Amino acid sequence: MIENIFDTHAHYADRAFDGDRSEVLAELPGKGVRLVMLAASGMRDSEENSRISQQYGYIYSAAGIHPECVEEACSGYTERLRCIIAANPKIKAVGEIGLDYHYENYDREKQITAFRQQLELAAELDMPVIIHSRDAFEDTLSILKEYRPKGIVHCFSGSAEIAREIIKLGMYIGFTGVITFSNAKKAVKALAEVPLDRLLMETDCPYMAPEPLRGRRCDSSMIAYTAAKAAEIKGVTTRELLDMTFKNGLEVYGITI
């Protein structure tokens, strides 16, 4: 049986799990899932993630404002995040934060401001960050080089060249079930460039279920398929890859078990 899965980026506060969240989370440890990190999209997620992580021993959480939710980055929001983080020692990261230029109507300047503010918060708290970047790698990389945070660029969709630049900053890179898709040539090339000691496995569930489960609601147990593909690319066994990415997850999030 596949075991030692650390899903380093999941969204179990998402409403897609409202009908059966407790059942799903109760079953995951029996499916080889050892640890899960919950990433936040906004204040609601940050608070709900904290509650979930306090309820389940194997789950940890993060708090932050996603660039698509940047309207929540209003006066006093960093202090509110600081309070959420301080209230729960199982909150281990600020995120997900970053830049998303996918749609023309997104407020890029507001995103950049919130990104910088949350990077500063993470530095003050000595916490890693979870970075979201979509169609915005030039600005994302420039800001990361300025702040040089510890943390992860999650759901990586950039080129092999950008992956090398992120690795030079000492950061980790997370890959989802996208690497199993037949059209994921860029992601596969990028993964090939990432050293095993900087690689993480994630789902971004409920999204991006891997082949052969594509189109279904994703959950952390499906990393088994993603890890098998990543192991093939890296020339190791699935067990070796899961053991290494588990260790990497502990290191980047500062988790002791």
Q: What is the tens place of the pLDDT at every residue in 172-182?
A: 999 999 999 99
Answer whether 99's CB lies under 8 Å from 108's CB.
Answer: yes
Domain hosting residue 179, numbered range: 5-253
CA distance 202 to 211: 14
pLDDT value at residue 2 = 84
Return the exposure string of 90-112: e unless at least 16 CB atoms fall within 10 Å of the residue's CB, then b.
bbbbbbbbbbbbeeeebeeeebb
Answer whether 210's CB lies under 8 Å from 200's CB.
Answer: no
Q: What letter represents residue 138's amino acid?
A: E
- Cα 234 to Cα 24, 184, 209, 251: the distances in Å are 31, 16, 21, 21
Burial of 126 by CB count in 10 Å (0-12 exposed, 13-18 middle, 19+ buried)?
exposed
Domain CATH number, residue 184: 3.20.20.140
Q: How many structural domains is the chain composed of? A: 1
Q: What is the tens place of the pLDDT at every residue in 82-112?
A: 999 999 999 999 999 999 999 888 999 999 9
Mean pLDDT computed over 208-217: 97
Residue 1 has pLDDT above 80, yes or no: no
* Phi, psi of 92, deg, nearest 5: -120, 0
